[in-house]
């Protein structure tokens, strides 16, 4: 099953760490010492939820480089690298963003963009993509990735993830409180501080986090149409992006590491997990570019 992205995996790890810290510092016990305090719990959940999302955002670029072994082009060593850097620079200027770092990594056809800021992002392409596509098609893919940066997709994703995290934190503790209260009925001890509370909270955070990823996956699919449209706008025609998508559909690009899936251009391989897919089917993206279907 294809679930989204290095950002989301990093976010999950950060949320787990923050949850453990809350328990070690006694924050959970303090929140529940006088019974369920919905407003106080919601405020703390928002602090932890958005904190985890923004920490993940700030880590996204360095984690992406490590995940695929991307090598940033500091000084072009070949004509192809010079073309790649200059093309990204041209597209970035058209899009009104700062020059991204440009990187290459070993792998079958794919590409991704990430980073916390519009003027300090990373665009990485695989060797397989450079070898299998024409320069017009590569430029279209680069336009697609620049579109992600210019549209502020990473920041929007972070805000959505922050809201999702908040409700995961909040609802997990509400359920934990009621489960623990039920398990400890008749016992004389503080509410919400038993083992049932902590086990329920951890289990619910996992389950609610998986369910909430459907929302994040929907946004990921939606932003692919916007990035395709951005590529068409930057290049002055949808034809190069359509050609790149058709080639991708024909040559079957491999998946990025699961942690980077939502930042790439590949289509999800499994249709049964459509709700969790980070990318819409390639035929739908082509239809949108050709004006045959709403994006």
pLDDT, tens only, 58-80? 888 888 888 888 899 998 889 99
The answer to whether 254 touches 266, Cβ cutoff 8 Å, is: yes
H helices then E strands: how many in the chain? 10, 4
Q: Cα(182)–Cα(25) distance, rounded to whole angstroms?
A: 25
Tokens at 244, concatenated: 């790149």
Nearest in space to 81 (alpha carbons), one of 73, 89, 90:
73
Q: Which residues are catalytic?
A: 145
Mean pLDDT over residues 135-160, rounded? 91
Strand, helix or coil at 117? strand
- Which tens digits make up the pLDDT trace of 214-254? 888 888 888 899 999 999 999 999 999 999 998 887 644 44
User: E strands within the chain?
Assistant: 71-72, 101-105, 111-117, 120-126
CA 271 to chain CA centroid, nearest Å: 19
Which residue ranges make up each domain of the chain? 6-64+155-211
pTM of the model: 0.77
- Confidence check: pLDDT of 108 > 50: yes
Q: Cα(144)–Cα(155) distance, rounded to whole angstroms?
A: 17
Nearest in space to 45 (alpha carbons), one of 156, 158, 173, 161:
173
Averaged pLDDT of the chain? 80
């Amino acid at each position: 099953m294809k679930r989204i992205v290095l950002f989301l995996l990093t976010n999950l790890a950060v949320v787990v760490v923050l949850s453990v810290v809350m328990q070690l510092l006694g924050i959970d016990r303090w929140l529940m010492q006088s019974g369920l305090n919905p407003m106080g719990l919601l405020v703390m959940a928002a602090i932890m939820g958005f904190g985890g999302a923004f920490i993940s955002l700030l880590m996204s670029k360095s984690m992406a480089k490590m995940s695929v072994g991307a090598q940033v082009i500091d000084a072009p060593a070949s004509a192809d690298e010079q073309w790649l850097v200059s093309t990204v620079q041209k597209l970035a200027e058209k899009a009104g963003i700062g020059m991204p770092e440009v990187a290459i990594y070993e792998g079958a056809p794919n590409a991704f963009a990430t980073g916390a800021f519009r003027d300090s992002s990373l665009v990485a392409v695989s060797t397989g993509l450079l070898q299998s596509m024409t320069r017009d098609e590569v430029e279209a893919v680069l336009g697609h990735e620049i579109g992600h940066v210019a549209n502020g997709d990473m920041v929007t994703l972070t805000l959505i993830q922050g809201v999702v995290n908040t409700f995961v934190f909040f609802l997990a503790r509400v359920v934990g409180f009621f489960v623990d209260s039920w398990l400890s009925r008749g016992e004389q001890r503080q509410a919400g501080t038993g083992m049932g509370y902590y086990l329920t909270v951890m289990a619910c955070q996992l389950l609610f986090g998986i369910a909430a990823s459907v929302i994040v996956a929907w946004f990921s699919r939606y932003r692919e149409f916007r990035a395709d449209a951005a590529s068409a706008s930057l290049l002055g025609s949808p034809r190069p992006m359509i050609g790149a998508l058709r080639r991708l559909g024909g040559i079957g690009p491999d998946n990025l590491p699961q942690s980077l899936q939502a930042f790439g251009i590949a289509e999800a391989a499994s249709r049964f997990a459509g709700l969790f897919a980070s990318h819409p089917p390639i035929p739908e993206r082509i239809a949108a570019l050709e004006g045959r279907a709403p994006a």
